[in-house]
Structures are given as structure tokens and as C-alpha cells.
Structure 1
Amino acid sequence: MGEGRRSALLILAVVVMVLTAEATTYTVGDSGGWSYFVSGWPQGKHFVAGDSLVFNYNPSFHNVVKVSGGGYNGCTTPSGSKVYQSGKDRITLAKGENYFICSIPGHCEAMMKIAVNAA
């Protein structure tokens, strides 16, 4: 095998490794789970599209709703929003801003919401 072909294969192998790198899974709220006052949890973390967020909570008392920026800021659940209720929800991040709230009355206002920007 020629030196040029060997170099090309090495470069291709590195590109494939980068493109197929394992996505990171984050547990929202760490050991405290999805709870009140979790809105600051994303600070200092670097998220990329394809990473997963795991929301752990008691489904008798909470839920997770993927909302728009307006839903996040206004603590509202727009029509057609996806509501998660398993208590162990795993959600893959899309590129850009991703917003999540708890839609139980008063919970979002108690900062049970997060905004995550994925590169």
C-alpha cells in the first residue's frame, strides 16, 4: 500500500471516529433529579445536538414538556407540545435552543424549567 493511500485511510478513520463519537447523557438536576429550582443546572455544561437528557422525577407530581421559547418564558404549554410523564424520560437534544418545563400549575414558576443550547 502506498504512503499516500495509507495517509488517506488514516484520515478517513479519524473522521469516522469523530462523526460516530458517542453522545453524552446528562441527568437533569444530577442526583436531585427534575425538581424545583433546577433552572440553573445547565450552566457550565457544553451540550451538542444528539446528547440526551434524562429527567428523573415522581410522575404522580411532575411531568416534562418540551416547549418553545415563549412557552418557557411564559410558563405555558402551547397546543401540540410533547408531554412526557414516565418519571424516567430520555430526550435527545436538537441543535439550537431546547426548552423544557413542568406544566403542573405553579411548578414552572418555581423554576422547574431549563433552557439548553446544543451546538
Structure 2
Amino acid sequence: MMARPRTLTALLSTIFVAILQVSVDAATWMVGDDLGSWTVPATSNDLNYTAWAEARNIRFADQLFFNYSNRTHSVLLVNSSSFDTCLFIDPIETFRSGHDNITLAMLGVRDYYFICGEPSMCFLEQKLHVSLVGDVPSAPPSLLAPPPPSLHSGALSILHVARSMASSVMATSIAVFVMTR
């Protein structure tokens, strides 16, 4: 039973060091650097934000810097459906400072979708899809085991419980015997 806390501590330490190492190597990208800011492209020949992102090697833990006038623009982190339709009801996150650094470090997430919070701006192509290159750490498995099935559910019989207990006692006895030799 004492090995579990040590194992958990080792796992969390490893994840922390890996994320810290990635953070040290992280880059900051100014979104719309060709236009000078996060704004509506003036013509269809102007900057396409998604093409802009594809031309760069944006990785896990990199930062996107959005510079914009917060009187007319904002940045919303949305799902792919909201990105595609420019219809958003419940954005994942909203940024309104005019100078937002957004770190791309959600475990298990490779694709990020950003749109301007002004509805017409998204339809005018003020939107950005970033697909990270390289490795993206996955979310750690649940640290808590799922609860055992209810005895009232009929999933476990008395015989099954007895067999499980016997197996546990046998395994513990063997482990103690091996450790004391």
C-alpha cells in the first residue's frame, strides 16, 4: 500500500519536469504579424490566419500573442464546430485585453480554434486554427480507481467476492513470503 503514494509522486514529478522542459523551449508567435495585429484581413489576398499558422512549427507550450484593439475585437477559444460556422454560444475561453498571451498547453489537445468575438468579424475570416506539430502530452490516466460495482446490481455474486478475497490473500501471502526470504 505504501508504494502507491511513491509511484504517484514519481509520476507527477516526471510530468512536471517534462512540462517544465517543454516550457523552457517554448516560442512566442505574434498572430497576424504580417498585418501588425489580430484584425480582419483587408482583402481575400491578405493574410489567412490558418495558412499563417500552418507555415510555422507551432508546438505544445508555445504561446500565441494576440495584439488588437479591444474596442472592436476580442479573442475567443472555441470548438471546431463554432469555428466552422462562426456561431458561438459558449466559448471555451474569452480574452479581451487587447494584448493576450495564450499558452497552448492543454494536455491531449492538438487543435486550437480561435475566432474574433464580434460576430461579423469571424465571417470576414478573422479566425485561426492552429494544429500543433510534434508531441502533445496526453492527459494522465485517472489517479483514482473506478468504484467497484454495487453488490446490489447483481454484477457480483457472493462466490465472486469470496474468490476475489482469496486471490488477494494468496497474493499478499506470497509477497510477504518472498520479501522475508
Q: Normalised by the shorter chain, which TM-score bucket?
A: 0.7 to 0.9
* Comparing 83-92 and 33-42, the one that deviates more: 33-42
TM-superposed deviation, 1:86: 0.1
SS of the residue aligned with 2:52? Answer: coil
Q: CA separation in 1, counterparts of 2:82 and 2:52?
A: 19
Which residue pairs with 2:142 in the alignment? none
Which residue pairs with 1:59 in the alignment? 70
Equivalent pair of 1:75/1:103 in contact (CA under 8 Å)? no
Q: CA separation in 2, counterparts of 1:41 and 1:35?
A: 14
TM-superposed deviation, 1:78: 3.3
Instruction: Please identify which structure carries the higher helix content.
Output: 2
- Listed one character per residue, the Cα deviations across residues 72-104 of structure 1 (whole Å, up to 9, x for unaligned) are 101122325311000001101134000000020
Q: How does 1:100-119 map to 2 (within 5 A)?
A: 100-119=114-133
Amino acid at match of 1:62: H
Distance 1:80 1:105, change over 3 A: closer
Runs of 5+ unmatched residues, structure 1: 1-15
Instruction: Please identify which structure carries the higher strand content.
Output: 1
Identity of aligned residues (%): 31
How many pairs were matched up?
Answer: 103
Equivalent pair of 2:78/2:91 in contact (CA under 8 Å)? no
1:90 aligned to 101, 115, 123, which one? 101
Q: Which has the larger radius of gyration?
A: 2
The alignment's TM-score, normalised by the length of structure 2, stands at 0.52
Runs of 5+ unmatched residues, structure 2: 1-17, 42-47, 134-181
Which residue pairs with 2:28 in the alignment? 25
Q: CA separation in 2, counterparts of 1:109 and 1:101?
A: 9
Q: CA separation in 2, counterparts of 1:116 and 1:78?
A: 21
Q: CA separation in 1, counterparts of 2:99 and 2:91?
A: 21
Question: 2:84 matched to 1:73?
Answer: yes
Amino acid at match of 2:67: N
Q: How does 1:9-24 map to 2 (within 5 A)?
A: 19-20=21-22, 21-24=24-27
Equivalent pair of 2:38/2:67 in contact (CA under 8 Å)? yes
- Give the aligned CA root-mean-square deviation in angstroms: 2.0
